[in-house]
Amino acid sequence: MSTKAEILSDIIKGRRSIFPESYTQDEIPTHLIEQILESANYAPTHKLTQPWRFTVIRKEAKTKLGEALGEIYKKVVPAEKFLQKKYDSFGQKTSQANVILAINIQFHEDKVPNWEEIAAVGCAVQNIALTAEALNIGAYWSSPPLIDHLGDFLGLGENEKCYGLFYMGYHNAETRPANRTPMSEKVKWMEG
């Protein structure tokens, strides 16, 4: 029987970014989406600001998101740098995903520095990624520059900002090993 630490280690080491082209059309049940989101709520948060805010985008709303990203791309990219393939990719990726979570942060500048809120949301997203992995749901966090312009689409408040789109779907991707260098090359010990 595996210990909790062994199970957690296996989930952490097994997590990979799984991209929408590998997603199947199988629907993720609402209760599993809620379970994934609930795990985010237990991330560390200084002064309990709990800055994570998520917008769940599914069904027809995915098409609207793809269209919004395409329109933003048209507006912000100079005509000479416009790529039709890139423009088309927004609708394609959003349609391939079963669920897209907009990762938003509500800042509390009167309580903690912004970097702490960003770090807390990063931890919340890691909890989401690990829970998705444990449920055999493929996922990846995308943060194209266009997210800076999604505030109106997402209905964000003045002190809120989108920090990425988290694509999810059941998938048929092959398992692949992690590409990591040894931890010993990244740690310095001080004991005296």
Whole-angstrom Cα distance, residue 107 to residue 148?
Answer: 15
pLDDT band at 85 (very low <50, low <70, confident <90, very high): very high
* 3-state secondary structure at position 160: strand
Confidence at residue 2, expressed as pLDDT on a 0 to 100 scale: 85
- pTM of the predicted model, to two decimals? 0.95
- 98-126, pLDDT tens digit by residue? 999 999 999 999 999 999 999 999 999 99
State residue 52 phi and psi, 5-degree precision. Answer: -70, 135
With tokens 């199988």, the residue in question is 26
First to last CA, the chain: 39
User: Is the Cβ–Cβ distance between 52 and 36 less than 8 Å?
Assistant: no
